[in-house]
Amino acid sequence: MFSSKPGADTAPGARHTQPVFGELSTALILRGDALPCFTSLEKLFPSARNAPPRLEATRASPISLVIGREASRITSRRSLSILLRDVTNECVALSAKLPTLRHAIVVLAHPVLDARVALAACERAATRLHEQVAREHGDHLVITFLLLTDCDDPDLLARRILDRAAQPQATDSACALSWSDIKTVSIEFAAMNQFV
């Protein structure tokens, strides 16, 4: 193949250039509750809420799934467990239908439970979900849970989610982070810092 920009893809550092905000090589599927912090994502990637993906299964490009859940009604560990089980079942079902699914990003808005309890439960759920998808479908699905208690910058959140969706799979497999964890650094960097 000939290129109008000879050497553009082989120049030093070409692999590490970031796509322009809004230009994403992966397909993005938005599902779940209509959270206010998703406004920026919905402007960039309009989609019908909770609509089953149609053509994404036939695409060759990677797919990232973003699920939003309003967690303000979750007042006990049991209700959080039920919510996490529902999200897990949805991710496993979509993983079976979408062979190019690479990332599942679950955003829990306004959790009222103690942050340490909620983060620990989400971390366990992320690890279990990653292992279940690997066991049942043989896929490496990167799972990210974001707990947003005080998200005051939806545009920054959208950029963080888009960066995570475009990230290669090999860096980490499962994590749970709060808004304060990702406010000043990328999700990838914050997830790697958890293991250091």
Domain boundaries, the chain: 24-47+57-195
Structure tokens at 111: 């959790």
CA distance 111 to 134: 29
- pLDDT for position 90: 93
Structure tokens at 77: 């560990």
CA atoms within 13 A on the CB side of 61: 12
Phi-psi region of 167 (alpha: psi -120 to 50; beta: other; left: phi over 0): beta
- pLDDT for position 149: 84
- pLDDT for position 15: 33
- pLDDT for position 150: 83
- pLDDT for position 13: 36
Q: Which helix or strand (DSSP H or E) is residue 31 part of?
A: strand 27-32
Q: Which residues of the chain have pLDDT under 70?
A: 1-25, 37, 44-60, 170-171, 196
- pLDDT for position 196: 64
Specify the CATH number of the domain 24-47+57-195. 3.40.50
CA atoms within 13 A on the CB side of 22: 6
